[in-house]
Amino acid sequence: MSAARRPLKSLGQNFLVDGNVIARIIQAADIQPDQPVLEIGPGRGALTGHLAGRAGRMILIEFDHALAAWHQDQLKDNQRVKVIDADVLKVDLAEIFSETPRKWNVVANLPYNISTEVLFRLYDVHDKLARMTLMLQKEVGDRLAAPPDCSAYGVTTVLLGLWFDISRVFVVHPGSFHPSPKVDSVVLNFIPLSEPRADVGDENVFRSVVKSAFSMRRKTLANCLKSAEFSKQVDCGELLETCRIDGRRRGETLSLEEFAALSRLLTQYLRKVAT
């Protein structure tokens, strides 16, 4: 059976083999009756059957062609399940989610090598989500809960913090997987907020401000913003001054509210330039 082939390191294949951990993830996912569910990277199906038994519509995205084909075969009689044999970073999640007006649960034991990238993609479709229950490398999970001015605080902390309440469900030790990873993992619940935590103006602007502020962690905020695309159109010194933010600070010291203030004002400046 293809699902029994050796795990591929290149695809971050650390399969869950601990029934207790699997049960706790399913409980944390709290699938409601008829809830549409997306599972990213179902692998050998440790979570899939439990989810499919509870979900309404269910979509699986698996990049390992052999495993995708295996799921297709296993689930061929279940009309509610669709298997997408693809790289989750290349599919259009907004289009997938648009097949029903209901909000989706996303459940995944994410491949570690792409977990941050996947978080950014899920952030982009936050308005389509009811809940996410994700297993991440513990270090990546810790970043999401980090306060300003510590090395763990970064782009994912600020962006996801704008739209989600994030809570740690439990830590998972390497022995719960085959093969065992070298580090601990953590299961987190992400509950989307109905309103963002702060008014940021244009969200694309917010994303650029945050990404540029963290682009060179050793440089000052003023220098980081100067090298951003938007600095060709606006005076970043004036922007910082008007927001009463000292440009000699480093990006990682700014709170979400300070990023929001910068983004709101920059949105206004850019709209003015565009008219």
Distance of alpha carbon 237 from alpha carbon 245, whole angstroms: 10
Among residues 38, 88, 125, 234, which is the contact residue for ligand SAM, using CB under 6 A? 88
Least Å distance, CB 88 to ligand SAM, is: 4
Residue 63 binds ligand SAM (CB under 6 A):
yes
Would you say 13 or 105 has its CB closer to ligand SAM?
13
Residues 6+ apart with CB under 8 A from 175: 18
Would you say 134 or 158 has its CB closer to ligand SAM?
134
Whose CA is closest to 240, among 222, 254, 218, 226?
A: 222
Sign of CA pseudo-dihedral 227, 231, 237, 241 = negative
Under rule CB under 6 A, how many of the chain's residues touch ligand SAM?
Answer: 24
Among residues 26, 35, 41, 269, which is the contact residue for ligand SAM, using CB under 6 A? 41
Distance between start and end Cα atoms, the chain: 62
Distance of alpha carbon 16 from alpha carbon 148, whole angstroms: 33
Residue 51 binds ligand SAM (CB under 6 A):
no
Whose CA is closest to 188, among 156, 220, 212?
A: 156
Binding track, positions 12-31, relative to ligand SAM; x by CB under 6 A: xxxxx---------------
85 three-class SS: strand
- Which residues ranging from 108 to 167 are in contact with ligand SAM (CB under 6 A)? 109, 111, 114
Kindly list the residues in this chain that would bind ligand SAM in the complex (CB under 6 A): 11-16, 40-44, 46-47, 61-64, 67, 87-89, 109, 111, 114
